[in-house]
Each structure stands twice: as structure tokens, then as C-alpha cells.
Amino acid sequence: MNDHIVQCFDPVALIGGGYLGKRDLELVLKRSTMLVAADGGATAALRAGIVPDAVIGDFDSLPPSDAARIPQDRLHLVSEQDSTDFDKALSAIDAPLVLAVGFLGARVDHQLAALTTLAVNAFRPCILIGSEEIIFHAPPRLELALSAGDVVSLFPMAPVTGCSTGLEWPIDGLAFAPDQRVGTSNRATGVVTLDMDKPGMLVIVPRSALDIVIQALGHTGACTA
């Protein structure tokens, strides 16, 4: 039995209830064919004049008045309390790529939880979009056509090693771990490749590189919910 609520062959936009920049929603909608809201993220979508294609969560942060504006068949209750709204929504989406806004830039504890969700769902490609940077989990092999001087930060969520090309400070032979070595503020010298030995590495690059990352991680098709 398929437990996914949303199935799509195109990138899916996911909106949360946290900080949302003026152009964030427009940015992801131009690059996706569906909008999914994580619980209270539906309120932000409605304020922008958009009814989400699906709302997923325990609905503890979705006002009844807003829920009433959304067709009932688009409201998907996930009542368990052991995961965040972001985790609930991401786990329920079957898509080649999720573009997530409204999860960074507000409460630090929520941001840390979002990073944990990226690590836990390493096999679900997802880009968290912030005001200045984007964050995603590194696949086993990654090639990014970055420009020389672009900041590339690597933050391990578990012990992990790898090798690289195109970084000012190569990572070959380094043992990364969240309580030991991290790789913040590295810089691209051109096209960057990363080969990681196992899951656990988050990559942080400038927001301006979004389309480069999408090209590296995603592809296109059609959607259902």
C-alpha cells in the first residue's frame, strides 16, 4: 500500500508556517506544479491568495476559519505528535524534489528541527530556501556548476567522509562529524563535485544558485494528490 498523500513527477513546492520572504512563494511556484502546505503554512498561502493543493499536518496551527476555506479533500490529518509539521509533510510527498519555504529564518529551534528532518529524510531530495542561502542534503554524488568564489558550506549531521573537486579547500581524507569537524565557509573555484561515503552531509550554498541545485537534484513530470 502506498502511504504517500502527494505523488508528483515534477518538483513540489512546500510552504511552512515560519518566516516567509516577500518573493519566497513566487520563487518556488515558478519552479513547481503543486503547492503543499505543512499545517499552518496553509494560512500563509491563503494570505497570498493561493489555495494549497494539499495541507498535511496535525492542524494544531491551522485556524478553523482558514481550514474552512480549503476543500475538505485537500486536508490530510496526520495526528501523531512525534514529528514536526515539516517532517509529516515531507514524508507524505513522493516527488523528485521538494522546494521548501517558510521553515528558515524564524525560531532557531524550528530551524534546527528542519535540518534534522533533512538528515532523517536523506533519500527525499528537498531544498530549504532561506533569505540568503539554500540548504539540502548531499546525495552520494553531486555536481554543481557554481561560480568561482561562491560560498560552499558543508555541515555534517552524522559522521561522514568524502572527496571533492572544485573547492578551495578539498575535503578528501577529512572525517566530518557535528561534534568535531565541520566545513563551513569553503569556496568554489568553479564546478564543484562531491562524493560522500554515506548520508549525513548538508550543503549550504547561495540562494542565487537555486536553479543550479534544482538542475543537479530534480527532473519533471506530472502530479496527483
Q: What is the pLDDT of residues 164-212, one digit of tens each?
A: 999 999 999 999 999 999 999 999 999 999 999 999 999 999 999 999 9
- pLDDT band (50, 70, 90) for residue 106: confident
Q: What cell numbers appear for 193 in the block?
A: 563535485
Helix (H, G, I), strand (E, B) or coil at 26: helix
Query: What was the pLDDT predicted at 4?
Result: 87
Give the Cα-Cα-Cα angle 200, 163, 134 (nearest 5 degrees). Answer: 50
Query: What was the pLDDT predicted at 86?
Result: 94
Please compute the mean of the pLDDT values over residues 21-30 and round it to a whole number. Answer: 93
CA of 26: how far to CAs of 30, 31, 98, 212, 218, in Å?
Answer: 6, 9, 15, 18, 19
Helix (H, G, I), strand (E, B) or coil at 41: helix
Q: What is the pLDDT of residues 109-134, one digit of tens each?
A: 989 999 999 999 999 999 999 999 99
Q: What is the pLDDT of residues 51-94, one digit of tens each?
A: 999 999 999 899 999 999 999 999 999 988 778 999 999 999 99
Which contiguous run of DSSP H or E holds residue 211?
helix 210-217
Cα–Cα dist 46/43, whole Å: 5
Which contiguous run of DSSP H or E holds residue 44?
helix 41-47
Query: What was the pLDDT predicted at 80?
Result: 80
CA of 45: how far to CAs of 33, 69, 101, in Å?
Answer: 15, 11, 11
DSSP state letter for 146:
P
Q: What is the pLDDT of residues 137-171, one digit of tens each?
A: 999 999 999 999 999 999 999 999 999 999 999 99
Domains of the chain are: 6-134+207-224 (3.40.50.10240), 141-204 (2.60.120.320)
